[in-house]
Amino acid sequence: MNNLRVFFLICAATVIIAFSAQPYAAAISYSGFAKKVNADRQIGNPDAAVTIIEYSDFQCPWCGKFEKEDLPYIIKKYVKTGKIFMQFRDFPLTLIHKYAFKGAEYADCAALQGKYMPVRSLLYKYQSYWSAMGDLYYFLKTHAKGIINLKKEESCVKSGLPRKLIKSNISSGTNAKVSGTPTFLIYRGLILYKKVTGYKPLPVMNKILKNALQ
């Protein structure tokens, strides 16, 4: 009886050790990953009259300009007031931006931890710094301390799940005739109202959004 009890204890311990050693995100399906990431890559009221889907590249300087100078205004005036719902999608231009795909992988893995927007903001704020260095792991280790669990982040990137999602985003963007970044698809309900390609000065974008809401 004692030997049998020891046997079951050993088996239980083996299962626990094996489970705890399993890489982060390995147990989640791609569909589960995509659902969780997409939920964290959106801000505002899903029932808003207007939805903006932005396709962007983390090394794109015009995407960075929009992120730093214009997005805070749009969030304050339109998103937080419930008028506009925003969704963010990856569209790394890998032919000209060597580390854009890797940046998207880390941002999407941050979304798995519920931290997409903070990490997105960091990547754009220090765009020139990490772009010159190319080491996203080191960058986040020094700049995202206390925001994300870096071990989970690295395990997620290595799982291949974000790569699959990014390729899906690129495919959907290509189907929508996205050819550069940033590109904004502005919807009234389910109907595409306007596609805005490239960065537009805030007064121009503001006018477009006001017209979309009329």
pTM of the model: 0.86
pLDDT digits (tens, 9 = 90+) for 41-68: 999 999 999 999 999 999 999 999 999 9
Q: Which residue, among 111, 119, 109, 116, has the nearest Cα to 156 in the 3D structure?
A: 109
Contacts of 52 (CB under 8 A, 6+ apart): 84, 85, 86, 87, 184, 185, 186, 187
The pLDDT value recorded for residue 75 is 98
pLDDT classification of 28: cutoffs 50, 70, 90: confident
198 within 8 A of 62, measured Cβ to Cβ: yes
**Distance, first Cα to last Cα, the chain:** 78
What b/e sequence results for 19-54 when a residue is b if at least 16 CB atoms lie within 10 Å of its CB, and e otherwise?
eeeeebbeebeeeebbebbbebbbbbeeebebbbbb
Is residue 22 over pLDDT 70? no
pLDDT digits (tens, 9 = 90+) for 170-203: 999 999 999 999 999 999 999 999 999 999 999 9
| Percentage of the chain lying above the pLDDT 70 cut | 87
127 within 8 A of 65, measured Cβ to Cβ: no
Q: Which amino acid is at 91?
A: F
Name the maximum alpha-carbon separation found in the chain.
80
Domain locations in the chain? 21-213
The pLDDT value recorded for residue 16 is 37
- In order, the DSSP letters of 127-141 are HHHHHHH--HHHHHH
CATH 3.30.930.10 fits 21-213, yes or no: no
